[in-house]
Amino acid sequence: MLQLATLTRHHAKFRPDEIAVVFEEERLTWREFDRRVSGCACLLQWLGVRKGDRVATVLANCRELLEVYWAVPSIGAVLVPLSPLLMAPGLASLLRDSGAVCLITQRSMAPLVDQVRDELPGLRAEHVLMVDGATADYPGYEALLKSYAEGRARPVALTQDDLFNVMYTSGTTGLPKGIMHSHFVRSMYCTLFAAAWRMRPESVVLHTGAIVFNGAFVTLMPCFYLGARYVLQRQFNAEEAIEIIAREQVTHTMMVPAQIIALLHSPNFSPDKLASLEMILSLGAPLYQEHKDLLNRLLPDRFYELYGLTEGFWTILDKTQSLRKAGSVGSPPCFYEMRIVREDGRDAATGEVGEIVGRGPSLMLGYYGRPDLTEQAIRDGWLFTGDLGYTDGEGYLYLVDRKKDMIDSGGVKIYPKDVEEVAARHPAVREVAVFGVAHEKWGETPVAAVLLRSGASVSAGELLDWINERVGARYQRLHAVQIMDDFPRNAAGKTLKREMRDAYQIGHPENH
């Protein structure tokens, strides 16, 4: 059996009394956690789940979700993590697309499951388990676990090419696609990231965001591979996260930019409280240089940045390079290759912007049930990312923007990130998102949505003037600034520019 499926058993044997998982008031040793993983695996087999069957989860962060994550692949089944933020149509679509035969969820989702169950003939009611207690129609996970989870699950022969999970893209553009990762790919997450983050069995890893999105696996997999301690926050709260870091002496954490910004501006922020940290990893979206500089000043020698796609290509900015290569998102790790490709298909010169193309051992098997999309994304073994960037003379990558986010204004290309970097320097601005909206004369024109820092007082007009005085070119000047209370975000915490653009255009039909 592939050892990836037996990691918890390994640690239960050799480090049984070390703390494995901390969730709120619960502290489980490796022996205790493995017992629950094993019980879950037995329960799934008793329910009839077989090798290759898809098991979906629709859960907020909880201890049960972690044990399901390890139980499902241990019996050769395929993990399908879905977000509890899904509405009924989205839930039905993804459950149907994945062909899930079992669903583990929470009672708050029961009304949605009721709405869609008739559309899912392969999902029987007795195979919909509720982690927080049974309902009239669906059994309780914990009660079944006590009744039917005995001994060890029947062994299943696994190879490195067997499917570990189907991860649905978080949907910043278009409909989500199911990305297939093999056991081998997830083992690469274990080993390569463990080395990149300088993790050890003694490390303490905090995760503050939803673990249903792939970014969570960037620290989850190496942590469980090494037998380190995994601390899971139910949902992100900056003040609480700071107290957890201080109390648990957390060494490694990853956050999306919005969470890092919230942490830096939290009323209880203190470098002393975060002194135990050895790594603060930013991923999921660009962290603006203004915030990187602040982080490096307040918490030096800890900042890492990951540019990566769930489809399987990464670059890493190591903490030792975060000052020397400010603005870069790093270089490809060992065993990875990267090219910058021009529109005519030829490789770009150093410093020339083109599409980022890469390959390496974490490349997905493809999009589930969509060989057509797989062929578009992977050509001759290279993943075409849809992102634009350039490299410097040493091969470090500088991210310019999403190809789809690029604004074409009167035939001139505007990269939103360039304008966002300027806006982020204003003392009142906490977050900013620039997107293109339709314009009768120019085709498209840039608009900025802004979140203000607590207590800041500035008008949209004042911000507009301030930003437009400082952008690098006349064509980058903003058409408008919109001050918002919050941005629409997906389950991964990524800003949904498409939704903001659509809402702005509905509210301002005079532009087109």
pLDDT at 251 (0 to 100): 98
Q: Report the predicted TM-score, pTM, of the whole model to 2 decimal places.
A: 0.84
Give the chain's length: 512
pLDDT at 459 (0 to 100): 94
Closest Cα partner for 138 from 98, 106, 95, 90? 106
> What are the residues whose beta carbons fall under 8 Å from the beta carbon of 229, sequence distance 6 or more?
18, 19, 20, 21, 22, 203, 204, 205, 223, 248
Query: Cα(131)–Cα(492) distance, rounded to whole angstroms?
Result: 22
- The class that CATH gives domain 406-511 is alpha beta
Closest Cα partner for 161 from 142, 134, 185, 125? 185
pLDDT at 171 (0 to 100): 45
pLDDT at 454 (0 to 100): 87
Tokens of 158: 């696994």
Q: Could you name the CATH architecture of 186-402?
A: 3-Layer(aba) Sandwich (3.40)
> What are the residues whose beta carbons fall under 8 Å from the beta carbon of 287, sequence distance 6 or more?
257, 260, 305
**Can you spell out the DSSP letters for 353-366?**
-EEEEEE-TT--SE
- The class that CATH gives domain 3-158 is alpha beta
pLDDT at 491 (0 to 100): 66
Amino acid at 117: R
Residue ranges of domains in the chain: 3-158, 186-402, 406-511
Equal fold, 3-158 vs 186-402: yes
**512 residues of the chain, pLDDT tens digit each:** 567 888 999 999 999 999 999 999 999 999 999 999 999 999 999 999 999 999 999 999 999 999 999 999 999 999 999 989 888 888 999 999 999 999 999 999 999 999 998 899 889 989 999 999 999 999 999 999 988 767 778 889 999 999 999 999 854 345 678 999 999 999 999 999 999 999 999 999 999 999 998 999 999 999 999 999 999 999 999 999 999 999 999 999 999 888 998 999 999 999 999 999 999 999 987 788 888 999 999 999 999 999 999 999 999 999 999 999 999 999 999 999 999 999 899 999 999 999 999 999 999 999 999 999 999 999 999 999 988 999 999 999 998 877 777 787 766 778 788 899 899 999 999 999 999 888 776 778 899 999 999 888 899 999 999 999 998 777 789 999 999 999 988 766 778 888 888 888 777 766 55
List, in sequence order, every beta strand (DSSP E) within 392-503. 397-402, 407-409, 412-414, 429-439, 443-452, 480-483
Is residue 204 within 8 Å of 279, Cβ to Cβ?
Answer: no
What backbone torsions phi and psi does residue 488 show, to the nearest 5 degrees? -70, 135
Please report how the helices 183-196 and 217-226 are oriented relative to each other, as an axis angle in degrees rounded to 10. Answer: 80
